[in-house]
Chains A and B, each alone.
Chain A
């Protein structure tokens, strides 16, 4: 026996309103996700997953301006994704009677439609689940987050496109009619309760409840990206913590200990190797400090949606290229002292090397970099995904096409 649905709130109006909200917002989450893939530099062979066939936006050199571009992109992707969780759950609640329709399959068309609905619902929930776990470092899923989240998105996109194409006309009709009439459209039974329980809140009250849930999610997550006093509001997330007032007291993405950095290798014996020119150049930290120093206030933004803006001081990457004897590099490969990490090296395209604010930073907020922040030297490039701003730099190899 199918369950009896009693809520007087369910009906085409509520479902249409929630559907239209998601119609506008989910493509933003999807698009920022696909843009982030491009930001990692698939042309440089360092996007993850590395070969995605035709499943990507057109590749382009990720710009360095505005410097907050990646911060905005990822902040939007993660915060909006989290803010939409109550809306997605409400939307699923509003249509759940359809899951249990009888007979479960009316025709071949209906069977195919139900498969695409699994792509849509499974896709949305899969993306939410993997995303939510990933930003909190709970890797219980075991598989590669990047791979799963990327391909999961494409299955979701397929389900989303089909659902919008099939349902948008009816949703618009429902909204335009401006009525909250308790009537299922013809041929689409199942939403309106035949024997409803007494109302305990109005439909608009229910929408306010969903909106309140979204607002709560915003307040509890946006501080990770916005920073400043708002950071403390991200009470339950790793980048909402108060780390102190010192020059190096801002969030890290990977500690020196986790990266296996032996402090001894960063001290007196450390040399920066530059290659790509006629002869390799080795510079110690004193030599780097003797070069022209440049200070830039730049955000560093993680794929996980948190970011922090600091004042970085160091040598321009283009000055280092010149020092290596490469005037116009088309790319550079930065390698870390870190031996095993997935991101122990990063490639930069020519525009990223030559930007006047792209630095090999030696200091932050006027003080020496701490070991956790990449002492003796780290890369900071405007609008570059955080993890590609290599810490504990060992060498930079400049290349010309």
Chain B
């Protein structure tokens, strides 16, 4: 028995539990495809509107398009030397940029007016307001981030500057030494 398991490990690359698990879940997925019907998987008349193409395409689109795009974008951001600034600006650009990207990624059908007819039939409304709303929302992300940056910057300057050098009265200044 022991030698059988050892042989399986050599041939297969993992133990019998692993093999059983793989077989079970592949059977489940295979059964799902079978009940769906193989002919439903692929539409020869319009290949790109096929379930199989979208399923695999979703993974490819993420791994080979979305991920490289945002990783490259981030490298461009981080490559800029900002370290001489007292408060780093990087995350104050990165965070609102990510929020803008996330909202576009999820809500692009409305923003780009995809499916206007179906939207109108369903809701009785046009998609006209979404682009402007998204732009305003994105502007708000950057404005808030900029505001937080400004506050941090001012605080930082106050911390590193001794109280006597400041103009005006500062009652809450910490004693030096």
What's the nearest-Cβ distance from chain B to residue A368, in Å? 18
Which stretch in B116-124, B147-155, B156-164, B166-174 binds the other chain?
Answer: B116-124
Contact A137 B35 (CB under 8 A): no
Residues on A with C-beta less than 8 A from B121 are 254-255, 257-258
Residue of B whose beta carbon sits closest to that of A108: B12
Which 10 residue pairs across A and B have the least CB separation, nearest first? A107-B13, A142-B49, A258-B121, A138-B109, A125-B58, A109-B14, A109-B13, A138-B115, A154-B32, A137-B118
Which stretch in A21-29, A30-38, A232-240 binds the other chain?
Answer: A232-240
Which of B43, B56, B95 is in CB contact (< 8 Å) with A143? Answer: B43
What's the nearest-Cβ distance from chain B to residue A341, in Å? 10
8 A-B residue pairs with CB within 8 Å: A106-B13, A113-B22, A125-B61, A148-B54, A161-B28, A213-B102, A252-B122, A255-B123
Q: Chain A: interface secondary structure?
A: helix
Residues on A with C-beta less than 8 A from B56 are 118, 122
Which stretch in A48-56, A188-196, A321-329, A343-351 binds the other chain?
Answer: A48-56
Roughly how many angstroms separate A85 CA and B106 CA in the complex, as a whole number?
Answer: 9
Q: How many residue pairs between the two chains, A and B, have CB atoms under 8 Å in the bound complex?
A: 200
B69-116 interface (Cβ within 8 A of A):
78, 88, 90-91, 94-95, 98-99, 102-103, 105-107, 109-111, 114-115
Say yes or no: A82-B106 contact (C-beta < 8 A), given A109-B12, A238-B123.
yes
Residues on A with C-beta less than 8 A from B11 are 108
Q: Chain B: interface secondary structure?
A: helix
Contact A216 B99 (CB under 8 A): yes
Roughly how many angstroms separate A136 CA and B114 CA in the complex, as a whole number?
Answer: 9
Contact B110 A148 (CB under 8 A): no
Roughly how many angstroms separate A162 CA and B43 CA in the complex, as a whole number?
Answer: 29
Residues on A with C-beta less than 8 A from B22 are 109, 112-113, 116, 162
Contact B58 A122 (CB under 8 A): yes
A197: interface (CB < 8 Å): yes
Contact B124 A158 (CB under 8 A): no
Residues on B with C-beta less than 8 A from A184 are none
B139: interface (CB < 8 Å): no
What's the nearest-Cβ distance from chain B to residue A219, in Å? 11
Residues on B with C-beta less than 8 A from A113 are 22
Query: Told that A89-B62, A255-B122 touch, could you supply 19 new A-B pairs with CB distance under 8 A?
Result: A54-B31, A54-B35, A55-B31, A85-B105, A96-B67, A107-B14, A109-B18, A118-B56, A136-B107, A136-B119, A137-B122, A154-B28, A157-B28, A201-B91, A217-B102, A220-B103, A236-B110, A236-B133, A253-B123
Residues 183-210 of A, flagged 1 when their CB comes within 8 A of B and 0 if not, give 0000000000000010011000100010
Contact B29 A155 (CB under 8 A): yes
Say yes or no: A115-B13 contact (C-beta < 8 A), given A123-B55, A139-B118.
no
Contact A121 B59 (CB under 8 A): yes
Residues on A with C-beta less than 8 A from B111 are 236
A241: interface (CB < 8 Å): yes
Contact B54 A130 (CB under 8 A): yes
